Structure 1
Amino acid sequence: MNDIITHPLEPFFDKNSKILILGSFPSIKSRLSGFYYQHPRNHFWKILEKLYQVKLLNNIETQKKFLKMHHIALWDVLQSCKIKNSDDKSISFVKMNDLSQILNKAKIEKIAITGQKAFTLFKKYQESFIKETYPNIRILTLPSSSPANLNFSFEQLVHKYQVILD
């Protein structure tokens, strides 16, 4: 795919959101489903089930209810990019999302960035602005929950994601 793709999903948050979890860009499956982390082999929802000791975050409606109940916002660092399939390593020609759309309306205390590509882009284009404009927000880095991330077992991912609860 050689075209620049614009992020098709709205940020998911409300005024009570306290944790903003940012990925890089939605997978093909998420873009088709209309919500975040919808690839069936992505560990994201299973990690949250384990952390929060809940079950069955297996459909978008229950996922949204869970996120609101636990004050979690979801979005991505990129507004648009070129990407081959769902491969973060292929991302180029990036345009960043304006995170102040959420940060000015919600009570965000932590931004958790998932995956190396998302963190690299955040650090390069947004970190200094966030630290200067919103100095009380903690910035956390998390490994990718993608099935392509073979560096961590599921148990290790759960352990790494524990920081969002601290």
Structure 2
Amino acid sequence: MGSMPGVASLKAYQYYGNPRNYLWRIVYALYGNGKEVDAEYEDRLAFALSHGIALWDVIASCERPGSLDSDIKKAIPNDVPGLLRRFPDIRVIACNGTKSHSELLKHFGAHPEILSRKVLRMPSTSPIPTRDYRGLEDRVEAWRAIKNV
């Protein structure tokens, strides 16, 4: 679960459409056995789906100048419990970053559909370095946790 697509993703009409974002490189590093990230977006989606990965955002709409999660205001959530009812085989919710995780718990943390799944707060796949995550390699290592649940 992401928070809300950034400007580049919205313009491209793609999840993680900013070529600098690490999400696709992380997915392929974890599941691709050395395979390069597919150039075509539809092929990346098919690759993710073939490995049981679905993509969606916690936030349906918000006010935000630019792409920073810290600038999100007036967030309106997607119906995450409804999605989980519709797809009961989803076992794990991996939140891409702190904002995604905090919005999920703020709006739905006590909901039975959320409580019945494992919720992971993963480091953001944004290329912006943080104190704990400087680049792709350390994020890939952290995201390996999704393979152990």
Per the TM superposition, whether the score is higher than 0.5 is yes
Q: Give yes or no for the alignment of 1:98 onto 2:79.
A: yes
4+ residue runs over 3 A deviation: 133-136
- SS at 2:70's partner residue? helix
Aligned to 1:71: 52
Aligned to 2:122: 142
Report if aligned partners of 1:23, 1:113 keep a CA contact under 8 Å in 2.
yes
Report if aligned partners of 2:2, 2:57 keep a CA contact under 8 Å in 1.
yes
User: Matched residues in 2 for 1:143 and 1:38: separation?
Assistant: 18
Equivalenced residues, count: 143
For structure 1, list consecutive stretches of 5 or more residues without a partner in the other structure. Answer: 1-21
Report if aligned partners of 2:109, 2:115 keep a CA contact under 8 Å in 1.
no
Structure richer in helix, relative to its length = 2
User: Matched residues in 2 for 1:81 and 1:149: separation?
Assistant: 25
Aligned to 1:154: 136
Shift, 1:135, TM fit:
3.9
- SS at 2:55's partner residue? strand
- Give the counterpart letter for 1:90 in structure 2: D
User: Matched residues in 2 for 1:75 and 1:149: separation?
Assistant: 24
- SS at 1:30's partner residue? helix
**TM-score, with structure 2 as normaliser:** 0.89
2:69 to 81, 88, 99: 88
For structure 2, list consecutive stretches of 5 or more residues without a partner in the other structure. Answer: none
**TM-score, with structure 1 as normaliser:** 0.80
User: Matched residues in 1 for 2:105 and 2:129: separation?
Assistant: 20
Aligned to 1:119: 101
- Bigger RCO (CA 8 Å, 6+ sep): 1
Taking only the aligned residue pairs, the percentage that are identical comes to 31
Aligned to 1:15: none
- Give the counterpart letter for 1:100 in structure 2: P
C-alpha RMSD of matched pairs (Å) = 1.4
